[in-house]
Copies of this chain bind each other. A is one copy, B any other.
């Protein structure tokens, strides 16, 4: 009985504390509508989605968005960059919008990685709203291959056909299969990438390190392109290697959603 009681207390405390020291903190996806037309919804990773129908002209100019976009969609998160970028990639494919800005703060609420701020531009607010709705929904999937324990996290992403968000964030060739490999602490990412490119015939198109392309996160990131089957195989190998190494530093890494790759 004592054990159960302790578990109950621990659980209650952990839920209050949230993922403070955890790379994969997902926050609470509260769904209280604030009663504003600008609000679209929230999702995993302390992500909030919003729209502005007619952006103030001075603000429009200061942000530096193309004049043709009267409306913007905003996807903003405390935890996660890869999941939000991949979700935005699907949203761009599905709607009449463009990605006009991607900024990656150093965040994850004390974890090792990025948060994200992604802006969509559109001529009609209905398009921006639809893009945000699609992106918020996709996050359930794109967090599926994020794994975390107290020591760090790994992240894998895969798409058979990259679109504009991947291009803008990673310089990915549009229309080709694309894979993203992330390890934290950073050294784990080096081994994940090495194993991935040795296991399958893929092009290593990018290598990003804390001060070499990332926002001082404790990550190493690799991006691969090529034949769809080869990219998928490379990603699966990276996942196996990364989670074994991360597991040596703490508990078994847990998926933050349902693995999709």
Contacts and interface: CB of A to CB of B under 8 A. Distances in A.
Nearest to A212: B103
Contacts of A115: 112, 185-186, 210, 218
A168 B103 CA distance: 25
Q: A9, A187, A193, A212: which has the most chain B beta carbons within 10 Å?
A: A187
A249 B55 CA distance: 23
A169 interface: no
B215 A109 contact: no
B78 A152 contact: yes
Interface residues of A, number: 92
Oligomeric state, in number of copies?
A: 3
A16 interface: yes
Interface stretch (A17-25, A134-142, A157-165, A171-179): A17-25
Contacts of A14: 13, 16-17
Given A20-B20, A185-B117, A249 B46 contact: yes
Which of A119, A215, A250 has the most B CB atoms < 10 Å from its CB? A250
Interface string A223-261: 000000000000000000100110111100000000000
Interface of A: 2, 5-6, 8-10, 12-14, 16-21, 25, 27-28, 30-36, 38-39, 42, 46, 48, 50, 52, 55-56, 58-59, 62-63, 72, 74-78, 103-107, 109-112, 115, 117, 119, 150-152, 185-188, 190-191, 193-194, 197-198, 203-204, 206-207, 209-212, 214-220, 222, 241, 244-245, 247-250
12 contacts: A2-B5, A6-B12, A16-B150, A17-B17, A17-B21, A30-B250, A38-B245, A46-B185, A50-B190, A59-B207, A109-B110, A117-B187
